[in-house]
Amino acid sequence: MSRIGKKPVEMPSGVSATVSGQSIEVKGPKGTRGFKASDDVDIKVDGNVISVIPRGNSKRARQQWGMSRTQIANLVQGVTGGFKKELEINGIGYRAALQGKVLKLSLGYSHDVLFDIPDDVTITVPKNTEVIVEGIDQQVVGQVAANIRAWRKPEPYKGKGIKYKDEFIFRKEGKKK
């Protein structure tokens, strides 16, 4: 039995869900998101509760049960509160700036890195060493944050680079004389 799949997903006020076949569409104050479940599970909406029920007792049905419930919970969270990743830039001369729909990163290269911002996420730069990525799709927000971080990953000696706000960089000791 899936302990995650057994729990129903509760919808807060202002959120509505419609099920047609194996696909569910959730509408909320931040937008609309959809998900198509596999044929191994059934999705039921009763009032303000969404429940996922497996169709069989096979291993695949049990796997899809928990995964589908988590995906639906992420849909509900995305259209109500959204998702957010915070990045921190460390290093002398390393900074970020917004220029319209382009994020300009100065990361110690001979040129500035210009990162085009996708349409479904918003990027804000409160300080020139902080970048906040927000959106309603958890996968897209995480991927955009990972793409920005990939330009200059934090190194273990001085910690220079782009890191997540809550990330711990394991520091190494330098050379000894």
SS3 at position 127 = coil
Amino acid letter, residue 6: K
Cβ-based burial of 47 (10 A; exposed 0-12, middle 13-18, buried ≥19): exposed
Q: Are residues 87 and 121 located together in one domain of the fold?
A: yes
Residue 69 and residue 87 in one domain? no
Identify the H or E element spanning 132.
Answer: strand 130-135
| pLDDT score at 96 | 95
Tell me how far apart the terminal alpha carbons of the chain are, to the nearest angstrom. 59
Residue 71, in any domain of the structure = yes
Sign of the dihedral through C-alpha 154, 160, 162, 164: positive
pLDDT computed for residue 110 by the predictor: 94
Shared-domain flag, residues 34 and 103: no
Q: Considering 80, 98, 120, which residue would you say is the last residue of a domain? A: 80
Q: Is residue 134 exposed (0-12), middle (13-18) or buried (19+ Cβ within 10 Å)? A: middle
What is the tens place of the pLDDT at every residue in 39-79? 899 999 998 999 999 988 888 988 899 899 999 999 999 99
Instruction: Answer yes or no: is pLDDT of 176 > 90.
Output: no
Place of tokens 């220079």: 160
Choosing from 47, 64, 80, the residue where a domain stops is: 80
**CB 82, CB 33: distance < 8 Å:** no
Please give the tally of structural domains in the chain.
2
Same domain, 75 and 122: no
Q: Which of 60, 80, 100 is the last residue of a domain?
A: 80
Q: What is the pLDDT of residue 98?
A: 94
HSE (CB half, 13 Å, CA atoms) of 122?
Answer: 9
pTM: 0.87
CATH number, domain with residue 11? 3.90.930.12
What is the per-residue pLDDT for 5?
84
Q: Helices 59-80 & 138-149, crossing angle to 10 degrees?
A: 80
- CA-to-CA distance for 9 and 110, rounded, in angstroms? 50
Please report which confidence band the pLDDT of residue 2 belongs to, taking 50, 70 and 90 as the band edges.
low
* Whether residue 109 is found in the same domain as residue 63: no
